[in-house]
Amino acid sequence: QLQLRESGPGLVQPSETLSLTCTVSGGSISSTDHYWAWIRQPPGKGLEWITSSYYRGTTYYNPTLKSRVTVSVDTSKNQFSLKLTSVTAADTAVYYCARVTYTSSWRRRFDPWGQGILLTVSS
């Protein structure tokens, strides 16, 4: 059974860079049938897609965050990572990683999800 787990600091200073890692177990991140995604949820608010990456490098970005986001995939460690630069209090959220399954180019869903990690931006 595939599982994902997010890791990273719980607190980030304003204007600094947020770094998170998602470790995948029970399956390979090099799967040709899946992408790997980051999604966030500010406290009390809805879900916001951040980015999705294929292990060979194709990446899609939420246009509102694209200029601040960097994604990397480490197949040797079965991990993928997110960096978000110049963070502000508005970036405070629970960050989830998830696998994207696509059965065709227009059928893309997130399943499963990691448990999530709360990142607080504060001095």
Partner 1 sequence: SYVLTQPPSVSVAPGQTARIACGGNNAGRKTVHWYQQRPGQAPVLVVYDDGDRPSGIPERFSGSSSGSTATLTISRVEAGDEADYYCQVWDGTTDHYVFGTGTKVTVL
Tell me which residues touch partner 1 (CB under 8 A): 37, 46-49, 52, 60, 62-63, 96, 102-103, 105-116
Specify the residue, 8 or 112, whose C-beta has the smaller distance to partner 1.
Answer: 112
| Whole-number Å distance between alpha carbons of 64 and 61 | 8
Least Cβ distance, residue 79 to partner 1 (angstroms): 18
Least Cβ distance, residue 53 to partner 1 (angstroms): 12
| Whole-number Å distance between alpha carbons of 94 and 42 | 6
Least Cβ distance, residue 60 to partner 1 (angstroms): 5
| Whole-number Å distance between alpha carbons of 30 and 25 | 12
Least Cβ distance, residue 38 to partner 1 (angstroms): 11
| Whole-number Å distance between alpha carbons of 54 and 56 | 5
Specify the residue, 76 or 105, whose C-beta has the smaller distance to partner 1.
Answer: 105
For 68, phi then psi, to 5°, come to -115, 0
Query: Among 43, 64, 104, 116, which residue's Cα sits nearest to residue 51?
Result: 64
Specify the residue, 16 or 41, whose C-beta has the smaller distance to partner 1.
Answer: 41
